[in-house]
Every structure is written in structure tokens, then in C-alpha cells.
Amino acid sequence: MTLVGASPVVDALTAEVVDYAGLFPPAALDMATAVRRYAAYLASDERALLGRFVVPVARLEEFEHELEAATRALHTEPRTDIGARTWRLAALAGDDPLADSRRIAAFNAAQRAVRGGHALIDTVETRAARTDDVVTAAALAHGGQVVFVEVPSTGELDPLLPAVARYGLGAKVRTGGVTPDAIPPAASVARFLVAASCAHVPCKATAGLHHAFRGRYPLTYATDSPQAIMHGFVNVLLAAALVHGGGQEREAVMLLDEMDPSAFEFDATEVRWRQHRIAAAQLRVARAEFIRSFGSCSFDEPVETLRARQLL
């Protein structure tokens, strides 16, 4: 699936890139609203950008209830094919991975048996501060799900990432939040990307990536929200592709720190930033093998910021 009006480079960069986390701050939507919005995004012209629906394991029963309601509503609309499409979920595990693993297995089995697999959990996310946590996280992969382990963005990555690689897991980095201190410096994000690439670990980012390019933005949707310099998801994705292609950490830091959108030039075959050129083929490989997606509580904002730069 490709984006309406997008170039092959933009397609390669953004295909299924936004894991929709509308349940989480700053959006913090109720389940019914988040499910309805995800259903609407599946029917939109920009649905090629849409990745998984992010839901805590502890709220799966609530999700099932709202999914059934949304499915019934969708079948009354002209686009009934959207209601038939399997929803892919990223489930956030809690403090008891073994219990969560059983709950995930039960959810998938029930979906396959009763609803023909209308929604399936194929990704699980958890956290790790120590190597013991990584070992525990490996239990979540027993159902065949891809497991992403969030590691501290400013902490020691060795031996955490080698342990993540040893168990065949992925790594996750937090790139923002609702307060300025939650936003890691570019050097920390670049260090994570380099370490993950060296460990041959697929990765994803989460939080604070509502905007395509780095800049000063409000941190929440409140009228009196504080502002801060936030990472841009285009910066993060391109820095990951640069590192995956053999680029240096210092170059990734500079790319992540870039605040001039005009420094990025897109055409049908490549994107250019300063003296660097990243071809569409390189982006596709980086997305498939390395930087899988990013979580965002908004889908509209990433789309709107790409459209504002005439990339859609």
C-alpha cells in the first residue's frame, strides 16, 4: 500500500510507521474514542502510515468490548472492507510477564476462534533496567510475538542491548514526554541507535514524535502548555537509516539536532541532508531490518506535519 500523492522515498520512510497510542498522554483518550479513531484512520487516504494499535495487556477486555462495537458500526458503513481487516496490536506488558503472556495467548486464541482473527497481538512491549529484566521479557515471545524492550535512554546500554540481541528481542527508546526533562538529548538517542545497530537489534521509538522535524512545540494540548525543543520523527528515522548504513554517531547527532526543514530535500529516488544522500532502497532496508516504527498518541499530527511540508 502506498500513500496518495507521496513519492517512493516518502513511502519507504513512512510505511506503517505510526503505532497509534491514543490511550496515552498527552491525548489520553478513552478506549471507545481511541478505537473509533483507529477505525477511521484505517479508512483514510493516509492509512499506509498506520501501524499497530497500542493497548496495555491490562485493558484487553475493555478493548475487546469497544472493538465489537466499532466493528458493528463499520459494517453499517459503505467501507465494510475496513471492518474486515485484521487489526494488529502492540500490547504493553505489566509487572507479571508470565501472566501477561498467558493473557495474550488467550486473547489471540479467542480472536482466531470466535472472530476469525479480527484483532491479533503480534507485538509486545515491556521495560528493562537490568539484564535479568531482559531474561524475563523473553517469556513474552513464546507466542511468536515480536518483543520490544524499552531501555533507559540515558543509562548504560551495555550489557542490556547484547542481552536483548541474545534472546532475539527488539529494543525501544523513549524520545519524549509531557515535560521538558522527559526529552533525551540528541546524543543519547544517537548513542542508542548506534548501540542497537552494532548489536543487530531491531528498534522502535516512542513518545514526543508528533512532528516531522525537530523544533519548539507545545508538550501537551492544554492552552497553557509549556513548550520545548522536541525531536522530529523524520530526523529520528533518517538518523536510524544513516546509522544502519554505516554512518557515524556524530553525524547522527547532527541530523537529530537539525532544526531547518529546508535542509532536507526529497525527490523520487532519495532524500538529501547536507552532504548525505539516502536512497529509497536504503530506507526500505533500514525500515525492514532496523527502525520499525514509532509510537504516537496522535496520528493526525504526523500526517498534518508531513502535508505541511508538501511530502504528502
Residue 83 pLDDT: 47
Indicate the residue type of 234.
V
What CATH number has the domain bearing residue 237? 3.20.20
Angle between helices 249-257 and 186-198 in degrees, nearest 10: 140
Residue 225 dihedral angles phi and psi, to the nearest 5°: -60, 140
Identify the sign of the CA torsion 214, 212, 221, 63: negative
Residue 111 pLDDT: 86
Residue 3 forms part of a structural domain = no
Residue 66 forms part of a structural domain = yes
Give me the percent of the chain exceeding a pLDDT of 90: 80
Residue 311 forms part of a structural domain = no
| Digit-coded pLDDT (tens) for 27-80 | 999 999 999 999 999 999 999 999 999 999 999 999 999 988 877 766 555 443
Number of domains composing the chain: 1
Residue 75 pLDDT: 56
pTM of the model: 0.93
Residue 248 forms part of a structural domain = yes
Take residue 27 and report the three cell numbers written for it: 491525548
Residue 288 forms part of a structural domain = yes
Residue 48 pLDDT: 94
Residue 64 pLDDT: 92
Average pLDDT, the chain: 91
| Digit-coded pLDDT (tens) for 182-213 | 999 999 999 999 999 999 999 999 999 999 99
Structural domain boundaries enclosing 30? 8-306
Residue 287 pLDDT: 97
CA-wise closest residue to 233 among 245, 251, 217, 220: 217
Rounded-to-10 torsion of CA 163, 164, 168, 170: -170
| Digit-coded pLDDT (tens) for 206-248 | 999 999 999 999 999 999 999 999 999 999 999 999 999 999 9
HEC per residue, the chain = CCCCCCCHHHHHHHCCCEEECCCCCCCCCCHHHHHHHHHHHHCCCCHHHEEEEEEEHHHHHHHHHHHHHHHHHHCCCCCHHHHHCCEEEEEECCCCHHHHHHHHHHHHHHHHHHHCCCEEEEEEEEECCCHHHHHHHHHHHCCCCEEEEECCCCCCCCCHHHHHHHCCCEEEEECCCCCHHHCCCHHHHHHHHHHHHHCCCCEEEECCCCCCCCEEEECCCCCCCCEEEECCHHHHHHHHHHHHCCCCHHHHHHHHHCCCHHHEEECCCEEEECCEEEEHHHHHHHHHHCEEEEEECCCHHHHHHHHHCCCC
Residue 1 forms part of a structural domain = no
